[in-house]
Amino acid sequence: MTTTDLEHATSTSYYPLPDSDHRPPPSPWRQRRPITLLSGIFLSMLLFSSLIALIVTQHRQQHIDGDGTRLSKKGFEPISRGVSQGVSEKTNFRLSSSPEIYPWTNAMLSWQRTGFHFQPPNNWMNDPNGPLYHMGWYHLFYQYNPDAAVWGNITWGHAISTDLINWYHLPFAMVPDQWYDIKGVWTGSATILPNGQIVMIYTGDTNEEVQVQNLAYPANLSDPLLLDWVKYSGNPVLTPPPGIGTKDFRDPTTAWIGPNGKWRVALGSKVNKTGITLVYETTDFTSYELLDEVLHAVPGTGMWECVDFYPVSTTKANGLDTSVNGPGVKHVLKSSLDDDKHDYYALGTYDPISNKWTPDNPELDVGIGLRVDYGKYYASKSFFDQNKQRRLLWGWTSETDSEAADILKGWASLQTIPREVVFDKKTGENIIQWPVKEVEKLRSKSTVYHKVLLEPGSLVPLDVGLATQLDIIATFDIDSATLEATLEADVGYNCTTSGGSSSRGIFGPFGLVVLADESRTEQTPVYFYIAKGTDGVATTYFCADQSKSSTASDVVKLIYGSTVPVLDGENFSMRLLVDHSIVESFGQGGRTVITSRVYPTKAIYSATRVFVFNNATGISVTANVNVWNMDSAKIDYFTLGRR
């Protein structure tokens, strides 16, 4: 597909407002902060009170017990958020239209707040934006609603860290105050130029709900905190071209240098139901030319959001700057699919002359093959960390409880622990994701279990103390002779439709149970399951079962997972980061990753337990488990009087 083909699609070219009287004057960021903060607090209190009043009215009754407020069991009707403005649905509609509201207590809701994952002090958060490293600080920008725990009024929050784990909150980086972003400062990416200048290209939602691309840059590049950002006076720098819908043009990538020395930026879009990536060229980030060829297109995948495009080395362990290409390099193309709310990626080859990216395996193309994460994970954004020569990946994990519960607790959404991304040189077919090394600084007490024999149907408790914040590494060995001697087992197995960890087969499931109470009325198992097809080839699945993770009724409880490559001579290995209401699971060194959100009502605080289990019927399993209790990260406001 070429960009000229777009003109024959449903044409919706956009002409922006004139450049004269329609622009309000630039915002004096520093002067606005106290006013913005005070008004934000007032509006937050007013909106929060109104929403609580609405819930109370709808639910007809409210009563107090020793742990705090409880809601009655009448339904709460969620409303759509985001779709009318042209972005992905931000409301959880997997629950029934009027789910029974569980009588949450303050103790239950307070327990859900994490100890070492990044989140703002309150309110709604979604996509990570423009991550970068500058003068000793890692910077994370993120989409944030300063007024409520639901999507809306999207502003750029800003936090800094020296180690990606302990964070300081800073004043907002950008607020929606210009005609070209008045309805939302949406997804953007940072590019660091050779002279050290930083440019931020981001999507703005205009006063007419048209998606346009805008330029911003630091007011003072010598400021390590990058407190003040200037919006370019000539914004928007890009508007939807002919053939592209006014609500189908968003989320610019980090720029890379093409063979002609010009910068290139990719954006996500669609033509009818074909997801596409457009590429623009620029020399100054203020004027652009649309290249004739789209970078890539996949029919049937719908709108591509939050496109990411970056190189990985096939020979070395370090990450690569976004502009690197040549021998020993593959390119990852990733897209967040608006239609199913999952992040997909594929490995391939980028030809900068023709501006075409070609997948290594067309059957595993973007949107129809591998996923970045098989759980609750979306809108991921990578960047090259020049400080430690690595490619790092951020991802947004939203809530899977009801909006009513989020309003009660006063916050919604987390960012996953940043992950280092490398090419899997052993399989040659996937990337590997692994939590950044820095998270290990939070490890405290270690509990080790060696060679635990798990016969069929075994369940062994692990005494690890307080089990709400853990880093667990476990390996499992099975009798390979038994596996090879069995001709066929569980043909057609699938994590999501299998019935979960209680569904027994010859070679699975076996693994760990976390966030469980003593009787396992609530539990979240993470496990391997081996199936053998009629051809005798064994396929290993890595799954996370949330079906019994909570007794609450207003919670989505799915079973996540997919296949994971296990090569000859490898044992079965998993790593789990458990942090209250989130579990990040890494199978086989990070070949397959699953992020789960769980909301137990009984398995909280000191009642939380951990087990190792083997529910297979035909094999015994030997487990080795190392469990670290994790300290909490330090996440606080930065005192602006110090630098």
Active site positions, annotated: 127
Rounded Cα gap, residues 583 and 576, in angstroms:
7
Q: List, edge to edge, every strand of the sheet that includes 304-313.
A: 304-313, 329-337, 342-351, 356-359
3 state SS of 404? helix
Angstrom distances, CA of residue 428 to CA of 344, 371, 383, 575, 640: 17, 16, 22, 22, 47
User: Across the chain, which distance is largest between two alpha carbons, in Å?
Assistant: 79
Positions of E strands within 106-183: 123-134, 137-145, 155-161, 167-174
Rounded Cα gap, residues 198 and 226, in angstroms:
10
**C-alpha radius of gyration, the chain, whole number:** 25
Rounded Cα gap, residues 325 and 495, in angstroms:
37
What sign does the dihedral 522-524-528-529 (CA atoms) show?
positive
**200 touches 213 (CB < 8 A):** no
Query: 217: exposed, middle or buried (C-beta count within 10 Å: 0-12, 13-18, 19+)?
Result: middle
Angstrom distances, CA of residue 472 to CA of 449, 469, 549: 11, 10, 18
Backbone φ and ψ of 460, nearest 5° = -120, 120
Residue with tokens 């040189």: 425
Query: What residues contact residue 327 under an 8 Å CB cut-off, 6+ apart?
Result: none
**611 touches 517 (CB < 8 A):** no
Q: How many residues does the chain have?
A: 643
Backbone φ and ψ of 562, nearest 5° = -165, -175
**Helices then strands (H, E): number in the chain?**
4, 38
Query: 56: exposed, middle or buried (C-beta count within 10 Å: 0-12, 13-18, 19+)?
Result: middle
Angstrom distances, CA of residue 265 to CA of 156, 200, 268, 326, 497: 21, 11, 10, 19, 40
Structural tokens at position 25: 């004057």
Residue with tokens 């490619």: 391
Bond from prior residue into 509 cis (ω within 30 degrees of 0): yes
3 state SS of 350? strand
- DSSP assigned state of 416: P
* The amino acid at 493: Y
Q: Are strands 390-397 and 378-385 parallel, antiparallel or unpaired?
A: antiparallel
Q: Give the residue from 70, 77, 75 showing the smallest Cα distance to 104.
A: 70
Given phi > 0 = left and psi -120 to 50 = alpha, else beta, which region is 559?
beta
- DSSP assigned state of 505: B
